Structure 1
Amino acid sequence: MTKLDNLVKWFEDKNKVMIALSGGVDSAVVAYAAFQALGNSAIAVTADYKTLSQEELLSAKQVCSEIGIEQMILDYSELENEDFVKNDSNRCFHCRMELGDHLIKLAKTHCVEIIVDGTNIDDLGDYRPGIQALKENGIRSPLVETKFIKSEIRDIAKSVGLSVHDRPANSCLASRIPWGQRVTAERLTRIELGETLVKQITKLKQVRVRDIQGCAKIEVDKERISIFDENIINQLSEKLKVIGFTSVEIDKDGYKPGKINVISN
């Protein structure tokens, strides 16, 4: 029996399942397996909570279309949650607790008993307070329970034809703001626009624009930093200042998830 068979089998004794589906590969594979096992008794739910980029939202919709699974959109604003916008080291916990509350309410209205997400074994090695929050809300992680690592997930996504199989890992836009600096709509907008501009100019897929008190600190894979010649830096500086950044800096150490998770007042 293949690992995908094991994942599909995990769902087979469930009556109705709701999948918290982002625009990434992990929850896409979970949704695929759930739909294979349960058909229309599997429902995908994507939270548009105002810190999710439009790129991620479009990706989530594309995935659901490819799978054929029904998708619901949860529409609310995390910017109304003071525990979230104050942006301390528990920001992700507050985010996921609020998401869990919304998912549970929606599940009850659709007579769904089990909610699942895309957490996998590799995620458990990082500092992820959001995972703990989802666990406290009773949300299960079939990729953990069937012992999937990231590379296996990508292989399966490719084998079944999901377009997100090689999509770089992403996180909410608020993760670009150091802990201790408030999350605002203005900052989220310039971060999202900034990353779009960097991707357009450099043709790179994996890009972070960190908002460090108004300075745009650009992170890309270390081996790609060399493409930032004087011409590209001048273009980026001009365009990023137009959308509200005060200065532009290329991070010479390259991209690393969670790099700015430090309190910085």
Structure 2
Amino acid sequence: MTSLIELLNWFDDKDKVLVSLSGGVDSALVAYAANKKLGKNAIAVTADYKTLSSEELDSAKSVAHEIGITHSIIEYSELENENFVKNDNKRCFYCRDELSTELIKLSDSLKINTIVDGTQSDDMGDYRPGIDALHRNGIRSPLLEVKFTKENVRKIAKNVGLSIYDKPSNSCLASRIPWGQRVTAEKLARIELSEKIIKQKIGVQQVRVRDINGLARIEVELDKLTLLDDVKTKNEIFSKLKMIGFSKVEINPNGYVSGSLNVILEN
């Protein structure tokens, strides 16, 4: 298994680094290693680009405090980027290309030459144009370069005491909207609120509410589907989701599958 020493050694020849901290365990481990190796010369930054859930933003703030790394928040709105809003199959590319621009802007102002993120080996198995955009812009991925897998990340994060070592993977709220259907502030708001409602009601950590032309498709992990079997619980959830703007609600019997909306649907 790849070791923490290898990750720490990656930073040996770096004077300063800027860590793109998303709120997940992968970038948290990178921030931990950078801070351990470089101290005050490691700075974490989280982009609040208006498609990041408040839960993820709070997670990033919390883990930065836990690590003790200097943490900055940059704000801009992806909803002002028409390439992103039109939501074609390069949405993630446009998202990460814009993020790269903002990170480079900040790193230049801080006179930092190296920007890093939390991409690891397992991320390379799916269609990930966002990763391509980051790497084209010179963003480095220490976990990928030293061949960390998600399993490695979680084990080492647990060993060093990071509280989010077992935090489920997440993605931006726009990923709940099928390609070909425009991303709007209204859709993002009802998706975020719906997922909070379901998490609170049935106590799950991993949930997706797919917004398909106003239809809410609820996805939880297969072994948690039985939590939605209770008629009263299901009716309460369905009723609340309709109250916040969904025209219809259904449960995906196949459970949660990453990238399940990576298809083009007509508007």
**TM-score scaled by structure 1?**
0.99
1:211 match: secondary structure: strand
Aligned 1:201-220 pairs, distance under 5 A: 201-220=201-220
Query: Following TM superposition, by how much is the alpha carbon of 1:208 offset from its aligned partner in structure 2, in angstroms?
Result: 0.2
Aligned 1:3-22 pairs, distance under 5 A: 3-22=3-22
2:164 — aligned with what? 164
Aligned 1:55-204 pairs, distance under 5 A: 55-204=55-204
**TM-score scaled by structure 2?**
0.98
CA distance in structure 1 between the aligned counterparts of 2:109 and 2:33, rounded to whole angstroms = 23
Q: Output the amino acid matched with 1:116.
A: V
How many pairs are equivalent? 265
CA distance in structure 1 between the aligned counterparts of 2:220 and 2:86, rounded to whole angstroms = 27
Task: Write out per-residue CA displacement over residues 192-241 of structure 1, whole angstroms, 9 at most, x where no aligned residue.
Answer: 00000000001000000000111110000112111212111101011111
2:11 match: secondary structure: helix
2:257 — aligned with what? 256
2:246 — aligned with what? 245
What's the % identity of the aligned pairs?
62
1:236 — aligned with what? 237
1:164 match: secondary structure: coil
Q: Which region of structure 1 is more displaced relative to structure 2, 157-166 or 249-258?
A: 157-166
1:225 — aligned with what? 225
* Off by >4 Å, runs of 4+ in structure 1: none
Gaps of 5+ in 1: none
Query: Following TM superposition, by how much is the alpha carbon of 1:2 offset from its aligned partner in structure 2, in angstroms?
Result: 6.7
* Cα distance change, pair 2–87 in 1 and its aligned pair in 2 (3 A): closer
Q: Output the amino acid matched with 1:237.
A: F
CA distance in structure 2 between the aligned counterparts of 1:85 and 1:240, rounded to whole angstroms = 23
CA distance in structure 2 between the aligned counterparts of 1:138 and 1:197, rounded to whole angstroms = 39
Query: Following TM superposition, by how much is the alpha carbon of 1:261 offset from its aligned partner in structure 2, in angstroms?
Result: 1.1
